[in-house]
Amino acid sequence: MREKTTWTLSGYLMLFVGLLMFVVAGVLVYLAVNMTSVNAILTWAVVLLVIFAIFILAGLFVVNPNDARVMVLFGKYAGTVRQDGFFWTNPFIVKRRISLRARNLSGQKLKVNDKLGNPIEIAAVIVWQIDETARAAFEVDSYEQYVVIQSEAAVRHLAQSYPYDTFDDTGHDVLTLRASTDQVNQLLITELEDRLARAGVKVIEARLSHLAYAPEIAEAMLRRQQATAVVAARSQIVHGAVSMVEMALQQLAEKHVVELDEEKRASMVSNLLVVLCSESAASPVINAGTLYQ
């Protein structure tokens, strides 16, 4: 079903016409009271004027800014009025109000298994508004409840389609819920638009508001993340220390500062690696003899 506009007349003009009919009817009643005999034509004129005046006033309605009126005439969709103002239309038309304002939906925390089977907690905040009033009024039973249920389904599907995080060096290009925030939000918007299009709803913004491991595995996953960080830091420290030792030996050899045999070279490498890789500051020891004592 597609939205279409319907005809309306100025409410101020029709209000004036209706009030004018009441005034004319009042004048006729006054004349009838002062007449010696009752005039049937005058009586019927008064009755008809009152009926038409009530008919006209019943068709008046107001459309507020960012509101719309969906018109239904005898079970058939007649059109939509989006322009704000004071209007008149057929009094037999049923006018249903639909707000066009942007609305916030703060989703509840959902417990879902991610792509790797890890239980996580996830929630999203969605900003939406009605774009097609005809679909919102007739395609679904309650568009507000429809938005809530379909949004929850979209968040669950998104969480099950991607892992929460990766723990190896080969996962830099893998889309994860934690690291790829912008891409995940865009995917959520796309899926919500597909699901909510039936209800005539447009998604303005959607983003994850809560993302965490479930309490039963949160501690274990925290230790795993800490271990991964420690391993990565140690790897970087060892790589830097080996480079510094290699540079030191190379410069000593190039400048002929000291001649080192294999045993002295191995001892020097060992001492430098201990100093560079140690977590605490090294304590120097002065050797008053030779390296072989």
Amino acid occupying residue 80: T
pLDDT digits (tens, 9 = 90+) for 182-223: 999 999 999 999 999 999 999 999 999 998 888 776 666 676
Q: How far apart are CA 147 and CA 192, in angstroms?
A: 9
Confidence at residue 36, expressed as pLDDT on a 0 to 100 scale: 58
Q: Where are the domains of the chain?
A: 9-96, 103-213, 221-277
Higher pLDDT among residues 234 and 191, named by residue? 191
Question: What pLDDT is attached to residue 290?
Answer: 58
Quote the CATH superfamily of domain 103-213: Band 7 domain (3.30.479.30)
d(CA 221, CA 119): 11
pLDDT tens digits, 135-166:
999 999 999 999 999 999 999 999 999 998 87
The span from the CA of 146 to the CA of 164, in Å, is 27
Query: What pLDDT was estimated at residue 287?
Result: 58
Task: Name every residue whose Cβ is closer than 8 Å to that of residue 263 and which is 6 or more positions away in sequence.
Answer: 291
Is pLDDT above 90 for 63? Answer: yes
Q: Quick check: 224 and 231 in contact, CB under 8 A?
A: no
Residue 207 CB coordination number (10 Å): 15
% of residues, the chain, pLDDT over 90: 50
Render pLDDT for 79-108 as a digit per residue (tens, 0 to 9).
Answer: 999 999 999 999 999 999 999 999 999 989
Ranges assigned E (strand) in 135-288: 201-213
pLDDT at residue number 230: 67
**Phi/psi class of residue 211: alpha, beta or left (left: φ > 0; alpha: ψ in -120 to 50)?**
beta
Separation between Cα atoms, residue 90 and residue 8, nearest integer Å:
8
Within 10 angstroms of residue 130's Cβ, the number of other Cβ atoms is 24
